[in-house]
C-alpha cells in the first residue's frame, strides 16, 4: 500500500489522527464518548450541527488507539485507563471539522516521508517493507491503507497546530522569568489573615444560624440522587450481543444471565458526585439526564469496557428543614464569618501600610503578626503557606522593601515582602538561554492551542 501511495493520489479522506505522534502533547478536555456496537450508521452525536455516525466514531477511536500504541508501546495496558481514549476520539473529530473548514491538505509524499522516518519500520537505518507490514499486522492490527490515512490525518493536525500557533514569539523578559522559576530561591516576610484562626472558639447563637439559613436556604438544597443498576461487559463481541438482546426488548437481568456477568447496583449517590463502582459516570451527567427510569442505556464504552445502565430509583431535588442540616448550617456560618473577619483584618493592615511602610507596626495595629519563611523555589510546598507558587510569583515582581498587594490563597489573605532573593546566575543563564527560549516558546504555543481548542469545542457542541 505504501508503494501504491507513491504512485497515485489517495482520494478517500477519513478521520483526523491524534497529533501526539508529531506535535507536543497538549491537554484535551473533551466530550464524553458513547459507542454503540450495533448499527454503526446510527448517529451518536453532533459536531458543529453535523451528525457523527457510529462508524465514524469507531474509526476515530481506532486512530487515537494507534497513536497511544506508538506513544506507550507495551506499557499501554498499564496506562490506558487514565487516557480516556473515547474522549480523545471526540476531540479528534472536532479538530477534523476545523481542518476541513481550513482546507488543510497533505500530500502523498509527506505521508511516505513520515512513515519511512519511524525507527520501528527500519532495518539498519533504512525503511523495510517487510517489517512495516508485519508491524501493522501484529502490533497495530491495522490494514496498511488505514494506517497510512491515519498518518495523513496526523500530519493535517500538525499543520492545524502550526496555523494556530505561528507568529508567537517570546522576549528576554519571559525567558528570564522561566529561568528564575527554575533556579531562584526567595524567602519572604508575610502578614496573614487566616480564617481558621478566627473560626476557633466561635459559638454562634441558634437565632443567628436560623437567620443565616433563611437567607441562604438554597445553598443547602440537596441534589437529585440516583440508584443505578448496571452490567459491565468486557468485550465488544459481548457488547454487540447485549445490544441485540436490548433490541428484542430483553431485560438487564436477562443480559446478565445470558452473558454470565453480575448485575450490580450503585446505591444512592448525589448527582454530580462520585458514583460507587462507576466513577467515570460523575463526569458525564448528560447520560443520567437522558435516561428514563427503568429504561436502558445503549452500551457505553469507557476504559476498555462497555456499560449498560438503568435508573432503578431516583430521589428528586429538595431543600431540607433547618434541624436536618443544623451542623452544616453552623459550619457554613462560622466559615463565612471567619473569612469576613480575616478580610477585614488584612484590609485594615493594607490601609496601615499605605500610611506607614513599617511591616511590624502595620501588623500590630491590625491585630495580626509578621512571620517569615526559609528560602524556597517555585513549585514547592511549605507547611506555613502550602503551595508557594502565587507567593513566589508576587515576590519575584516586588522591589526591595515593597509590600505586595493583598494575595488571596486557599488558606486566607496575605501581604508579603521579600526577605532574601538569590541573585541570578548570569553565566548559567547565558548558557541555557537558547534552550530556554525554545522551551518557553513551545509552552506558549501549547497554551495558545489549548485556548483555541477550548473555544472550538464550545462552538462544536
Question: What is the Cβ-side half-sphere exposure of residue 13, based on CA atoms within 13 angstroms?
Answer: 12
Are residues 328 and 311 part of one domain?
A: no
Q: Which of the listed residues 293, 315, 337 is the one where a domain comes to its end?
A: 315
Q: Which of the listed residues 264, 295, 315 is the one where a domain comes to its end?
A: 315
Task: Please report whether residue 69 resides in a domain.
Answer: yes
Radius of gyration of the chain (CA): 29
Task: Name the residue range of residue 337's domain.
Answer: 185-204+323-421
Task: Please report whether residue 441 resides in a domain.
Answer: no
Q: What is the CATH number of the domain that holds 330?
A: 3.10.50
Partners of residue 386 on adjacent β-strands: 382
User: Which residues have C-beta within 8 Å of that of residue 245, sequence separation ≥ 6?
Assistant: 254, 255, 258
Are residues 341 and 228 part of one domain?
A: no
What pLDDT, on the 0 to 100 scale, is given for residue 213?
A: 95
Phi, psi of 2 (to 5 degrees): -65, -40
Are residues 341 and 304 part of one domain?
A: no
- Cβ(255)–Cβ(276) below 8 Å: no
Within the chain, what is the greatest distance between any pair of CA atoms? Answer: 85
Are residues 135 and 30 part of one domain?
A: yes
Distance CA 394, CA 398 (A): 7
What pLDDT, on the 0 to 100 scale, is given for residue 62?
A: 92
Distance CA 267, CA 200 (A): 37
Are residues 308 and 347 part of one domain?
A: no
Are residues 192 and 106 part of one domain?
A: no
- For residues 301-336, one letter each, b for 16 or more C-beta atoms within 10 angstroms of the residue's C-beta and e for the rest, the string is bbbeebbbbbbbebeeeeeeeeeebeeebbebbbee
Are residues 367 and 304 part of one domain?
A: no
Task: Please report whether residue 451 resides in a domain.
Answer: no
Distance CA 228, CA 62 (A): 30
Task: Please report whether residue 427 resides in a domain.
Answer: no
Q: Which of the listed residues 405, 421, 437 is the one where a domain comes to its end?
A: 421
Task: Please report whether residue 437 resides in a domain.
Answer: no
Are residues 267 and 228 part of one domain?
A: yes
Task: Please report whether residue 405 resides in a domain.
Answer: yes
Cell reading at 401: 522593601
Are residues 93 and 75 part of one domain?
A: yes
The residue count of the chain comes to 461
Q: What is the CATH number of the domain that holds 33?
A: 1.10.4030
Give whole-number Cα distances, 453 to 27, 179, 214, 286, 458, in Å: 10, 28, 43, 21, 9
Q: What is the CATH number of the domain that holds 270?
A: 3.10.50.40
What pLDDT, on the 0 to 100 scale, is given for residue 28?
A: 28
Residues of the chain with pLDDT under 50: 3-39
Are residues 140 and 108 part of one domain?
A: yes
Are residues 277 and 257 part of one domain?
A: yes
Predicted model pTM: 0.66
Helix (H) or strand (E) holding 176: helix 172-183
Task: Please report whether residue 262 resides in a domain.
Answer: yes
What pLDDT, on the 0 to 100 scale, is given for residue 294?
A: 60
Q: How many CB atoms within 10 Å of residue 348?
A: 16
Distance CA 213, CA 428 (A): 59
Are residues 45 and 132 part of one domain?
A: yes
Cell reading at 249: 426488548
Cell reading at 341: 473577619
What pLDDT, on the 0 to 100 scale, is given for residue 32?
A: 32
Q: Which of 261, 267, 266, 301 is nearest to 284 (CA)?
A: 301
Distance CA 415, CA 312 (A): 53
DSSP 8-state code for residue 200: T
Please tell me the total count of domains within the chain: 3
- Cβ(111)–Cβ(152) below 8 Å: yes
Task: Please report whether residue 430 resides in a domain.
Answer: no
Amino acid at each position: 500500500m505504501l508503494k501504491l501511495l507513491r504512485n497515485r493520489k489517495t482520494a478517500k479522506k477519513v478521520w483526523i489522527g491524534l497529533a501526539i505522534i508529531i506535535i507536543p502533547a497538549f491537554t484535551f478536555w473533551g466530550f464524553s464518548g458513547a459507542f454503540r456496537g450495533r448499527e454503526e450508521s446510527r448517529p451518536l452525536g453532533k459536531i458543529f450541527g453535523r451528525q457523527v455516525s457510529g462508524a465514524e466514531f469507531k474509526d476515530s477511536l481506532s486512530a487515537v488507539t494507534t497513536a497511544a500504541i506508538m506513544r506507550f508501546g507495551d506499557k499501554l495496558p498499564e496506562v490506558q485507563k487514565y487516557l480516556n481514549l473515547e474522549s480523545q476520539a471526540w476531540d479528534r473529530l472536532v479538530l477534523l471539522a476545523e481542518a476541513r473548514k481550513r482546507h488543510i491538505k497533505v500530500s502523498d509524499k509527506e505521508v511516505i516521508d513520515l512513515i519511512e522516518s519511524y525507527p520501528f519500520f527500519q532495518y539498519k537505518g533504512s525503511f523495510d517493507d517487510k517489517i512495516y507490514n508485519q508491524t501493522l499486522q501484529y502490533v497495530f492490527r491495522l490494514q496498511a491503507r488505514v494506517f497510512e490515512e491515519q498518518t495523513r490525518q496526523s500530519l493535517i493536525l500538525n499543520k492545524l497546530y502550526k496555523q494556530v500557533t505561528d507568529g508567537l514569539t517570546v522576549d528576554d523578559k519571559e525567558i528570564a522569568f522561566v529561568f528564575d522559576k527554575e533556579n531562584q530561591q526567595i524567602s519572604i516576610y508575610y502578614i496573614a489573615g487566616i480564617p481558621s484562626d478566627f473560626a476557633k472558639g466561635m459559638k454562634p447563637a441558634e437565632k443567628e444560624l436560623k437567620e443565616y439559613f433563611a437567607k441562604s436556604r438554597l445553598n443547602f438544597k440537596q441534589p437529585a440522587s440516583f440508584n443505578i443498576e448496571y452490567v459491565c461487559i468486557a468485550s465488544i463481541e459481548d457488547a454487540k450481543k447485549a445490544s441485540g438482546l436490548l433490541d428484542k426488548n430483553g431485560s438487564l437481568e436477562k443480559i446478565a444471565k445470558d452473558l454470565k456477568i453480575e448485575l450490580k447496583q450503585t446505591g444512592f449517590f448525589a448527582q454530580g458526585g462520585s458514583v460507587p463502582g462507576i466513577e467515570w459516570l460523575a463526569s458525564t451527567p448528560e447520560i443520567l439526564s437522558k435516561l428514563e427510569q427503568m429504561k436502558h442505556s445503549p452500551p457505553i464504552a469507557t476504559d476498555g469496557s462497555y456499560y449498560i445502565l438503568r435508573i432503578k430509583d431516583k430521589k428528586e431535588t429538595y431543600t431540607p428543614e433547618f434541624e436536618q442540616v443544623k451542623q452544616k448550617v453552623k459550619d457554613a456560618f462560622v466559615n463565612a464569618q471567619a473569612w469576613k473577619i480575616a478580610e477585614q483584618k488584612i484590609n485594615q493592615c493594607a490601609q496601615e501600610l499605605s500610611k506607614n511602610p513599617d511591616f511590624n507596626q502595620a501588623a500590630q495595629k491590625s491585630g495580626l503578626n509578621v512571620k517569615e519563611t526559609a528560602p524556597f523555589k517555585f513549585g514547592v510546598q511549605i507547611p506555613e503557606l502550602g503551595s508557594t507558587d502565587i507567593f513566589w510569583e508576587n515576590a519575584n515582581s516586588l522591589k526591595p522593601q515593597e509590600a505586595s498587594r493583598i494575595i488571596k490563597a486557599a488558606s486566607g489573605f496575605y501581604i508579603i515582602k521579600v526577605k532574601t532573593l538569590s541573585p541570578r546566575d548570569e553565566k548559567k543563564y547565558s548558557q541555557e538561554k537558547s534552550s530556554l527560549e525554545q522551551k518557553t516558546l513551545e509552552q506558549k504555543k501549547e497554551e495558545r492551542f489549548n485556548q483555541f481548542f477550548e473555544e472550538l469545542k464550545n462552538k462544536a457542541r
